[in-house]
Amino acid sequence: MPEAAETAPCQQKAETYSHVMTTKLAKEISKLTAAEKIQLAGELWNDVAENGAVLEIPDEHKVEMERRQAESLAHPGLDLTWAEFQKRFAARL
């Protein structure tokens, strides 16, 4: 981040405003119940999705996806459907 002297005054005000708003928002969110926080997270997620946000997939995630796909292709009998996974997971509880 540039030194304060290198930053335009209007940018400094915007950054300060953003920090203040983030701090206030964090305090308000901390007052919510767990259920309310989960609901808020869902609403935020839906808002991002509805507004066509394009999120960059990090390179390390791409590498991991390629590794998993190669493993799946090499050992097709080891894959589980979501229902099979849930059944096995529930059996362990």
pLDDT digit string, tens, across residues 47-64: 988 987 788 899 999 999
> pTM of the entire structure?
0.44
Res. 10 pLDDT band, cuts 50 70 90 = low
pLDDT at 17: 66
Q: Rg (Cα) of the chain, in Å, rounded? A: 22
Q: What is the DSSP string of the chain?
A: ---GGGS-HHHHHHHHHHHHHHHHHHHHHHTS-HHHHHHHHHHHHHHHHHTT--PPPPHHHHHHHHHHHHHHHH-GGG---HHHHHHHHHHH-
pLDDT for the residue numbered 52: 79
